[in-house]
Structure 1
Amino acid sequence: MAAKRRRSGGKGGGTMGCAPFLVLIVIALIIQYWWVLLIALGAVAMTVALVRSTKAPARPARVPLPRPQPAVAPPRPVLGGDDLTAHVRAAKRAGRVRDMQEWDYEWIRLSHPGKSLHEVNSIANTHFARGRSIGINSGDPSLG
């Protein structure tokens, strides 16, 4: 004979149980107390952030850059006697030579009217490199 299987009383056919009612109650609580849930989530997020930041390795300390010192030219030695006289004479001679070279440059520029500034500069540089000047010793470097 075939044995009859019995169904248990808890698993009745077609009964839904109380699960849908529990879901509706949970949804109603979420709708009513949404601000409490937001505060709780914020507290959890802050706690997680604090725990992670304390477990992170320490950052190296920033070393401030040294303050830049003003650039000051070293003091010139104080000249006296013969050194001072030689220095003044050399300065006067350099000033005269510079003035004559400026005059020579203008003379070269005027004597070559069709040349560009680059060509005039190269002519003047070769002229000055040979030690020549129109205004000093009539252009003869051996007399200087």
Structure 2
Amino acid sequence: MSTNILNTPSADFQSLGVRLFEQWTALWNGDLALADRIVAPGFRVSFANAAESAATDDLRGPDDLARFVAAHRESIPGLHYSLSGTPVVDAVTGQIAARWTVTFPDASGSTVGKSGIDILAVTDGRITEVWSVTGLRAFASAG
């Protein structure tokens, strides 16, 4: 972590963290131009689930990520990602974690829903690394 993140007031980092996760979600919803603004040049992503269409461990930087997201969206038309709750932001470590859902139509036209959790590492206001897990179904509703 860079020292400026550790010296950022918690309230400021909370706001930055929520905003970054909202932009991260918008990127996955197809706003690919966000990659250059929110992702650091040395960015890496680690998916816990195997991605069949790409060597995701080799993705580096905003351009690789934007190409991957575009190909992913093309392979599964109708994807829509949304946040589930408010991201948890840790100003000390510079990490942001949040649950999310994705919906898309299956071959019959029925809506399929899955959930996941992403943890973003942030340095100097940009995402440097992400750890992502996608479930096989949507999280059950609380209550």
TM-score higher than 0.5: no
Task: Indicate the structure with greater helix content.
Answer: 1
Which has the higher relative contact order, 1 or 2, with Cα contacts under 8 A spaced 6 or more apart? Answer: 2
After TM superposition, the score normalised by the length of structure 2 is: 0.23
